Amino acid sequence: MRITDVQTFVVGNPPPHFGGRYWVFVKLTTDHAISGWGEAYSIPFHPHIAAQMIEDVCQRYVIGQDPFKIERLWRVIYSSGYTQHPDLSLMGVLSAIEMACWDIVGKELNRPVYELLGGQVHERLRTYTYLYPEPSDQTDVYMDPDLAATRAVAYVKQGFTAVKFDPAGAYSAFDPRQLSLEALTRSEKFVKTVRQAVGDSCDLLFGTHGQLTTSSAVRLARRLERYDPLWFEEPVPPENMEEMAKVARATSIPIATGERLTTKYEFARLLKLGAASILQMALGRVGGILEAKKIAGMAEAHYAQIAPHMYCGPIAGAADIQLSTCSPNFLIQESIQTWGGFHAQLLKTPIRWEEGYILPPTGPGLGVELDEEVAAQHPYSGKLLHLEMQDRPL
């Protein structure tokens, strides 16, 4: 079998844009008339440039290759241009290509990818969601503790047993910063109010985006410990794992991180330093499915768990599900609400979510197929990137 063709799709995500402004997909086709899908997560260039990057790499390294030789192909692309170093852009490209190869392999063998990576461990996957805003909101759900509590209760009634929120404030290119007393108090009140509303029926996941200095993160963690959050996410920027380890040693709250890290090499350092016990690899960035499985194995040896990141489109989300299903140390899977809306519209067969859990697909490969007609009807024509940081100090 040989890969004979590559196509890319840049799809605009309609309002309310949950999951990002757009998604970049790749379709690889073989001489056996089997196609596989992949998705690149948040390459820090305009998505049409990202699509050209994928096509460039495929023309040089992928066309004509055997999709079963994933390990060999991974090393060749990872070393492109004399790199051999974790790089967010190249790793996003590589992740999409690798993901599509696994989809092809699973379809050729008529097996889900998880059956090729050790087999199914979990019959269903526990999920969490952010507390997302609604069109009728009169206030900001991330700044209004009472509205957040109401929203959390509603999600619990749907079946969720965990919700995530980030009340610490916006994130900036000039972070990390020391939170003000007002921000510390607001965050504490937020968690307290939500905890009182849901009781012990729901885990609370305190999300941040690297906004805090080490000392500020420790100050905030001490305020939050009494409410027993399941995790404190990326409290400091991911560039300095030694400082994140200091936060981990200073609090009883588990530290979660990983969405801005790539490859087993960065995660190995994270584990060695004891900087986090919950790993949130983004499969459209980390290096793909096999790389994430290797990271999950390293985490297992450190008694760390995985909670794959999912603020993306449904193809990378489907890859998350394949990894989570076959990983013994799976903790919880991020969802964007209940996998409905545009995520469902883009797939010929939507991902099954029932009462707080994903039911892993039984079809071959990733178990999903992108609807190309729907994708073509939603081109992205904007100028902004998938996510943007504030361009001034806060």
Domains of the chain: 3-110 (3.30.390.10), 115-365 (3.20.20.120)
Give the pLDDT confidence of 270-290 residue by residue, as tens digits. Answer: 999 999 999 999 999 999 999
- Whole-angstrom Cα distance, residue 365 to residue 116? 9
Q: Which residues pair with 249 in a beta bridge?
A: none
Helix count and strand count (H, E) for the chain: 12, 13
- Tell me what the mean pLDDT of segment 155-162 comes to: 98
For residue 306, which of 262, 285, 275, 276 has the smallest C-alpha distance? 276
Q: At 167, is the secondary structure helix, strand, or coil?
A: coil
For residue 149, which of 174, 131, 122 has the smallest C-alpha distance? 131
- Tell me what the mean pLDDT of segment 50-68 comes to: 98
- Whole-angstrom Cα distance, residue 314 to residue 52? 21
Q: Does residue 309 have an active-site annotation?
A: yes
- Whole-angstrom Cα distance, residue 88 to residue 41? 9
326 Cβ neighbours under 8 A, 6+ residues apart:
114, 115, 117, 118, 119, 120, 121, 293
- Taking a C-beta distance cutoff of 8 angstroms, is the pair 125, 160 a contact? no
CB burial string 133-168: b at 16+ within 10 A, e below: eeeeeeeebbebbebbbebbbebbeeebbbbbbbbb
Q: Does residue 122 have an active-site annotation?
A: no
Catalytic residue among 309, 343, 378, 386: 309
- Tell me what the mean pLDDT of segment 138-153 comes to: 96
Catalytic residue among 122, 209, 343, 386: 209
197 Cβ neighbours under 8 A, 6+ residues apart:
149, 150, 152, 153
388 Cβ neighbours under 8 A, 6+ residues apart:
none
Give the pLDDT confidence of 228-287 residue by residue, as tens digits. Answer: 999 999 999 999 999 999 999 999 999 999 999 999 999 999 999 999 999 999 999 999
